[in-house]
Amino acid sequence: MQVFTEEEQEKIVLAIQLAEARTSGEIRLAVEPHCQGEPLDRAMVYFKRLGMDKTAQHNGVLIYLATEDHQFAILGDQGIHTRVSANFWEETKELMLRHFKAGDFVQGLIEGIIHAGEQLQRFFPREADDVNELPNDIAFGDGKE
């Protein structure tokens, strides 16, 4: 699935790397053209499929985007939810939505990733022995499974 150019993908992956450099949290991005069901439910499918529920501190964040359906969700693991308020990701969603409405998925994702990293840093600062538990690449799906 070619939603983003190689250059755009590199910019998004770099944003993930930079965001994760300040936190022990893990950020992943899952992208597919169509959302089968509710965006949050689809995000949960990818969350498990990508092994995000297996991080040591349970501090993974998944940004899910269905490009053709114009739907997205942000899902954080249980370690995050035990420390933050219920509307923790609303600011990140609003920031992303402004760019999405303008038709700029790439900048919306980059801004969302950076903001998510800043939020994670408050509760899960990077430690000297932190390791990157999950890949930083974009997980592309076909929206059918």
Domain boundaries, the chain: 12-126+133-140
pLDDT value, residue 142? 78
Region for 52 from its dihedrals, namely left if φ exceeds 0, alpha if ψ lies in -120 to 50, beta otherwise: alpha
pLDDT band at 143 (very low <50, low <70, confident <90, very high): low
Report the top-level CATH class of 12-126+133-140: alpha beta
Q: Is the pLDDT of residue 89 over 60?
A: yes
pTM: 0.93
Residue 92 pLDDT > 80: yes
- Residue 86: predicted pLDDT: 67
Q: Say if residue 121's pLDDT is above 80.
A: yes
Contacts of 113 (CB under 8 A, 6+ apart): 12, 15, 16, 19, 27, 29, 63
- For 104, the 3-state DSSP assignment is coil
pLDDT at position 100, please?
A: 93
Tell me if 73 sits within 8 A of 42, measured CB to CB.
Answer: yes
